[in-house]
Amino acid sequence: MNDTTVTLVGNVATAVDYRETVAGGVARFRFAVTARRWDRERGLWSDGNTSFYTVSAWRSLGANLAASVSVGEPLVVHGRLKVREEDRDGQRKTFVDVDAVAVGHDLSRGTAAFRRAPKVERAAPEPQPEQDPWTVAAEEGSAVNPHLVTAS
């Protein structure tokens, strides 16, 4: 696959919106990444431009993210980069999205306590008894090949 993968370090800019869809649950939020540079003349760090990304996380990652993340928290997001263009209000706009593969709190800026999410048990399908196709066909009134001879 030729996906472009990226790792972004920044802050949660909007509340996480979690929704159940036909394809599974998805969490979405805006993520702000601000470049920081060391200013030698002043002897301090200064902020550069801020880039915003829409991050999507599917299934269990999305559910865990929605339960764990709030606006303003520092995160590390790793995922597939998607760039799309749309016409809005008569203008061509470019949007940059990330389909997250992994998300975690940035521990260089604080601490976190990890809690395992409970496993979701899926109901196993009922085992079906082996059925003889000839018996089923006869019960349904289907014609059975009279030329087929089976040894008893």
Per-residue pLDDT of 62-78, as tens digits, reads 999 999 999 999 999 99
User: Quick check: 12 pLDDT over 80?
Assistant: yes
Structural contact between residues 44 and 25, judged by C-beta atoms closer than 8 angstroms: no
143 versus 6: which is more confidently predicted?
6
Q: What does the block give as tokens for 80?
A: 């597939």
Helix/strand number for the chain, H first, E second? 2, 6
For the residues 103-119, what does the mean pLDDT come to?
90
Q: What is the pLDDT of residues 19-63, one digit of tens each?
A: 998 888 999 999 999 998 888 899 998 999 999 999 999 999 999
Q: What does the block give as tokens for 53?
A: 């990304």
Task: Compute φ and ψ for 95, nearest 5 degrees.
Answer: -120, 140
